[in-house]
Chains A and B, each alone.
Chain A
Amino acid sequence: MTSGKPTMIEFQDVHKYYGDYHALRGISATIKAGEFFSLLGPSGCGKTTLLRTIAGFEGISSGVVLIDGKDVAGVPPNKRPTNMVFQSYAIFPHLSVAQNVGFGLRKDPRSVADKARAVDEALAMVGLSGYGARAAHALSGGQRQRVALARALILKPKVLLLDEPLSALDKKLRENMQVELIKLQRQVGITFILVTHDQEEALVMSDRIAVMFEGQIAQLDSPERLYRLPKTRAVANFIGTMNFLSAQILSEAGGQVEVEAQGLGRLQLDAEKQVTGTPSTNGATIGFRPETATLLFDGQQASDRETMATVEEVVYYGDMTYYDVLLDGTTAPVRLSMRNVFGRPVLDIGTRTRVGWSPGALVLFR
């Protein structure tokens, strides 16, 4: 993983105001060299603003931004060791592909031949060999994105910034590009910082993710930890789906917490591995992911605990089926996901069924 690697970017209590609007509210974080880092959050959370403060297109109102150990306050974008791939790709329409890619080399002291070679290498790296002479405005969206990548990477920046680079592509193309970006990052080895609102994308590509809401970082963690142990209900809801059941904390002792959960009865949870969040006035909540509970068909044994439920809704997805079931003793349905197995029927609405679950897969939000 990335621990032990040197820090490339550091935010120290960064605030930013647009007039009276508090866009960034005290961001403190570090991004390590060579990692694939994502800024994830809904529209308006400040992720793009934060990215642009790294690039130098936005200033900050207070705090410190360090790139490779240096405070970059007052340093304009053209002097920072970063390069950006813009959301609209910003390909210069009046230039050819090769001219676009080689644009940043204008002041480079190398010979024309050397520069041309560098352009060819960059194009090869993004899979656009031979496209050099094409007019830039005649390219497809996916091709433009690659040109933007080549244009940025040819300058060998220490950090590559990507502002929602895949949002304009259709699903198939997006999935292909996700894999290509990962490969590219490993090949080049520099820090990639990606801004996206698509949590699946962030989970697939990142070494670590910073989830942002309303100008603050809610949680900064690896994808697995974010998924398994989200710090707040908001983060839990944003990443994947999470089912919530109300619960009451009965007692805490010796690293164990005893809880009475709606529909699931009395449980014991590990305080360190399963309990999260800050105490709220709404009372505690038990959360679990759809794939951690199973519908038990006739003859199947529960591997741990078991309870009864009624099927309320069935959503068929091809490779998965989602069942919304109402557990006995609860008031709102929870969602379970089942992989479709060849030969196994899909249950009807109204069916009474057994549900297998395990206390070890639960999360307790205080």
Chain B
Amino acid sequence: MSEPLKRPRFWGSQAASGLALISPTALYAILLLAAPLAATLVYSVMTDGYLTIIPRFQLCNYIGECHAQLADGTMAPEAYLGAWSDPIVRTLMARSLLVSVLVTAATVLLAYPVAYFVSFSVDASRKSLWLFMITIPFWTSYVIRVFMWNVMISRTGVINSVLQGLHIITDPLQMSFTLQAMVITLAHAYAPFAILPIYVALEKIDRSLLEAGQDLGETRFATFLRVTLPLSMTGVIAAVLIVFIPTIGDYVTPNLIGGGKIPMIANMIEKQMLKADNRALGSAIAVSAMLVVGLVSVIFLALNRRYLKGPT
């Protein structure tokens, strides 16, 4: 008698059905996300041409000086600096990093108590209502919200007029076009991104663990530090990443709040890609930015790896 079949055939099996079902979405993502990202990578090492990109390998978009190729095939006499060689780009990169780190820290720190409140102090039946209320602002137009902040902090804006009207100050405060204003606006924009992952992690904590700690004589604060906080770290880590990564790519806020005077790296990318038509350089800057972000994220994850291991 023949050996019974150990492995069933693929076609008609579970795996085939699953793959078939996910294929339209997956194909869409591959064609419109993976491929373009790969293309960006490729462009970043190519030569800039007149309204096109010329497939000639060069690394100078990253380091060194590059020459664009003109329409007639000759190289332009003026050189432009590669991403890492250009002090402007480096400054912008550093500033973007700084802003992102500040925003992330502020957002996550301010978000944690809110997540804690909803998880521990709110009735189960009311929780989704609170969460709903917290996430509503996020769903409204980003541009409008940033614009409103801009309006509120301007010299003749709401905040100043209130403070002056109440005679707390005489001269209007200069809040626009400052780094602090940008940080506040971004913290506002990404707040729910931080609250939700922390909330989910807190919800998963077995309440009887906390009661056990108290039963053994700990104060509530000690229980928080020794039990709740470490157990919620996966949520905090997720929150950090979810806020940090998109913040770097933000350019609306620098434009509006910063008035174009405090550009971030994304503004540079926009400039190169859309206005200056140097897609090779723009790609290089974008890839560099993503590399920096990726590196910081990896370092962050590595530092916190003990919170990521084990069952959650």
**A contacts B directly (C-beta below 8 A):** yes
Interface residues of A (CB under 8 A from B): 15-17, 19-20, 59, 61-63
Number of A-B residue pairs with CB-CB distance less than 8 Å in the complex they form: 19
Selected contact of A17 from candidates B1, B2, B6, CB within 8 Å: B6
Interface size class of B (residues with CB under 8 A): under 10
Contact residues in B for A15 (Cβ distance below 8 Å): 4
Which residues of A lie under 8 Å from residue B7 when comparing CB positions? 17, 19
Q: List 14 A-B contacts (CB under 8 A).
A: A15-B4, A17-B4, A17-B6, A17-B7, A19-B6, A19-B7, A59-B8, A61-B5, A61-B6, A62-B1, A62-B3, A62-B4, A62-B5, A63-B4
Residues from chain A with a CB closer than 8 A to the CB of B4 are 15-17, 61-63
B interface list, Cβ under 8 A from A: 1-8
Q: Which residues of B contact A62 (CB under 8 A)?
A: 1-5
User: Are B6's CB and A20's CB within 8 A?
Assistant: yes
Q: Contacts of A59 on B, CB cut-off 8 Å?
A: 8
How distant is the Cα of A59 from the Cα of B6 in the complex, in angstroms? 12
> Does more than half of chain B's interface fall in helix, strand or loop, or is it mixed?
loop
Query: What's the dominant secondary structure at chain A's contact region?
Result: strand
For B8, give the chain A residue with the smallest CB separation: A59
Residue of B nearest to A26 (CB): B4
What is the CA–CA distance of A63 and B1 in the complex, to the nearest angstrom?
10
* B-side contacts of A63, CB under 8 Å: 4
Give chain A nearest CB distance to B16 CB in angstroms.
15
The list of the 3 closest CB pairs from A to B, nearest first, reads A62-B4, A61-B4, A15-B4
A19 proximity list for chain B (CB < 8 A) = 6-7
Known A17-B4, A61-B4, A61-B6; 16 more pairs at CB < 8 Å: A15-B4, A16-B4, A17-B5, A17-B6, A17-B7, A19-B6, A19-B7, A20-B6, A59-B8, A61-B5, A62-B1, A62-B2, A62-B3, A62-B4, A62-B5, A63-B4
Residue of A with least CB distance to B3:
A62
Residues of B within 8 A of A17 (CB): 4-7
| Residue numbers in A under 8 Å from B6 (CB-CB) | 17, 19-20, 61
- State the CA gap A28–B270 with chains docked (Å): 72
User: For the complex, what is the distance from the CA of A19 to the CA of B6, rounded to whole Å?
Assistant: 6
Q: How far is the CA of A63 from the CA of B7 in the complex (A)?
A: 15
A61 to B8, CA, bound (A): 8
Instruction: Give the distance to chain B from A3, nearest Cβ to Cβ, in Å.
Output: 30
Tell me the complex Cα distance, A110–B101, Å.
70
CA A63 to CA B4, docked complex, whole Å: 8
The minimal Cβ–Cβ distance linking A23 to chain B, given in whole angstroms, is 11
- The smallest C-beta distance from B162 to any residue of chain A, in angstroms, reads 53
